[in-house]
Amino acid sequence: MGALAERYTNAVASEIKSFQATAIASNTAIEVDTIYFGGGTPSLLTGRQLAHLLEAVQSRFSVAADAEITMEMNPGTLTLATLREFRRLGVNRTSFGAQTFDDRELRRLGRQHTAADVRQTIRDLRLAGFDNVSFDLIAGLPAQTLLAWSRNLDEALQLRPQHLSLYLLEVHEGTPLAEQIKRGAQAKPDDDLAALMYELMIEKATASGYEHYEISNLCLPGYESRHNSKYWTGAPVYGFGCSAHSHDGARRRWANERDAARYTELIEAGRTPVVETTELDEHEAQSEAVFLGLRLLQRGINLSEYRARFGKDLRAGHADDLERLSAAGLISCEDDLLKLTRHGALLSNEVFTAFI
């Protein structure tokens, strides 16, 4: 396993170093202010491997001195010494899935960690010098009650992470949970109850000083996820490694080989790992600008900027939809800014479908 990990790390570093010549045909260093190690379990990297990847990034990109460098990790899998090493190398933000503080619910989800692991991970991160910590919770779990969810929120807020993400459980066909629900071994998620859980989280978190800046994300003032905000605002994002996705900030998207072994073989053979390239058409670009922009609750969509970009007036083109959604209390439009309301954030998918 160690040899495979070493080969893979070297392959990712090689892809990064060759990126400018192959992907954008330029030797000019691109300025970046966020680096994100995500997907799989990047926290399994050794300090030496992480340093190797960071050096590769710095060799091909102009990295801002105050860059946000995030690493995803699994609770209870890292020692304090390892966390200190990652912090020393420049990682300054961490993100992990707490999911719930109820061990029974964690077992139902098939998670390997416990609530105690989450608490210990938070303590170790603080001791290691991390002052920008994010974790996520999942609402609407089978058999989860509103009271249990409220207790989850209370514990999460007491731990005082700088950033919180909330997700409503999605049951995907073919997963163990979907099969258990079909057999009656697990209760079917209650959508109405999940909506109450969402509203309760927003209420409790905002009362505790958190800003609800994106549909599924809250933060203490100044701790928005700078990296994830690039997806919502359509900024360029360059991904490296197996399954990595990239976009150029306009309409071009590309994705890498999903299988790690195959990806490594392609890089070692001097071949491109890109297996899919797409170009958004005009309608797709307009739709994406709307539903991604609306996700940012405080910023919303600047209608003048939309008109300058696409040469179209969103209000004129969707007058009936906007009137209907406004009457339902799902959107607001003031000072040329189109935004979701708090109620609209809960029913955002209904809003988005009007623009797709």
**Confidence at 42, pLDDT banded by 50, 70, 90:** confident
Output Rg (C-alpha) for the chain, integer angstroms.
22
- In the prediction, which pLDDT does 183 show? 74
Inter-axis angle of helices 260-268 and 2-19, to 10 degrees?
Answer: 60
Look at residues 201, 232, 263 and tell me which one is the last residue of a structural domain. Answer: 232
Question: Using one digit for the tens of pLDDT, what is the confidence trace for 163-174?
Answer: 999 988 776 676
147-155's contacts with Cβ under 8 Å and 24+ in sequence apart are 148/102, 148/105, 149/197, 149/200, 149/201, 150/200, 150/204, 151/101, 151/102, 152/100, 152/101, 152/102, 153/200, 153/201, 153/204, 153/205, 154/204, 155/101
Do the domain assignments include residue 251? no
CA 213 – CA 348 distance, rounded (Å) = 14
User: For residues 187 and 193, which has the higher predicted lDDT (pLDDT)?
Assistant: 193
Phi-psi region for residue 222, left (φ > 0), alpha (ψ -120 to 50) or beta? left
Do the domain assignments include residue 255? no
pTM: 0.92
Query: Is the four-CA dihedral 291, 296, 300, 302 of positive or negative sign?
Result: negative
**How far does CA 275 lie from the centroid of its chain?**
23
CA 137 – CA 99 distance, rounded (Å) = 4
Question: Average pLDDT in the 300-308 region?
Answer: 94
What's the length of the chain? 356
CA 285 – CA 57 distance, rounded (Å) = 29
Look at residues 200, 232, 264 and tell me which one is the last residue of a structural domain. Answer: 232
Are 178 and 295 in a shared domain?
A: no
Look at residues 168, 199, 232 and tell me which one is the last residue of a structural domain. Answer: 232
How distant, in Å, are the alpha carbons of 73, 155, 197 from that of 204?
26, 11, 10
Do the domain assignments include residue 268? no
Are 227 and 298 in a shared domain?
A: no
- Give the pair of three-digit tokens for residue 272: 């491109």
CA 273 – CA 255 distance, rounded (Å) = 8
Are 218 and 294 in a shared domain?
A: no
Decide if pLDDT at 27 tops 70: no
Do the domain assignments include residue 253? no
Are 221 and 117 in a shared domain?
A: yes
Are 112 and 225 in a shared domain?
A: yes
- In the prediction, which pLDDT does 24 show? 53
Do the domain assignments include residue 46? yes
Do the domain assignments include residue 158? yes
Question: Using one digit for the tens of pLDDT, what is the confidence trace for 221-278?
Answer: 999 999 999 999 999 999 999 999 999 988 999 999 999 999 999 999 999 999 999 9
Do the domain assignments include residue 260? no
Query: H/E/C letters for each residue in the chain?
Result: CHHHHHHHHHHHHHHHHHHHHHHHCCCCCEEEEEEEECCCCHHHCCHHHHHHHHHHHHHHEEEEEEEEEEEEECCCCCCHHHHHHHHHHCCCEEEEEEECCCHHHHHHHCCCCCHHHHHHHHHHHHHCCCCCEEEEEEECCCCCCHHHHHHHHHHHHHHCCCEEEEEECCCCCCCHHHHHHHHCCCCCCCHHHHHHHHHHHHHHHHHCCCEEEECCEEECCCCCCHHHHHHHHCCCECCCCCCCEEECCCCEEEEECCCHHHHHHHHHCCCCCEEEEEECCHHHHHHHHHHHHCCECCCCEEHHHHHHHHCCCHHHHCHHHHHHHHHCCCEEEECCEEEECHHHHHCHHHHHHHHC
Question: Using one digit for the tens of pLDDT, what is the confidence trace for 88-137?
Answer: 999 999 999 999 999 998 988 888 899 999 999 999 999 999 999 999 99
Question: 217-253 b/e with 16+ CB inside 10 Å = b?
Answer: bbbbeebbbbbbbbebebeebbbbbbbbebbeeeeee
Q: CATH number, domain at 106?
A: 3.30.750.200
Are 315 and 175 in a shared domain?
A: no
Domain span at residue 291?
A: 286-355
Are 22 and 153 in a shared domain?
A: yes
Are 324 and 228 in a shared domain?
A: no
For residue 45, the one-letter residue type is: L
Are 22 and 108 in a shared domain?
A: yes
Are 226 and 291 in a shared domain?
A: no
Mean pLDDT of the chain: 91
CA 42 – CA 45 distance, rounded (Å) = 6
Q: What phi, psi does 48 have (nearest 5°)?
A: -65, -40
Do the domain assignments include residue 112? yes
Total domain count for the chain? 2
Decide if pLDDT at 25 tops 60: no
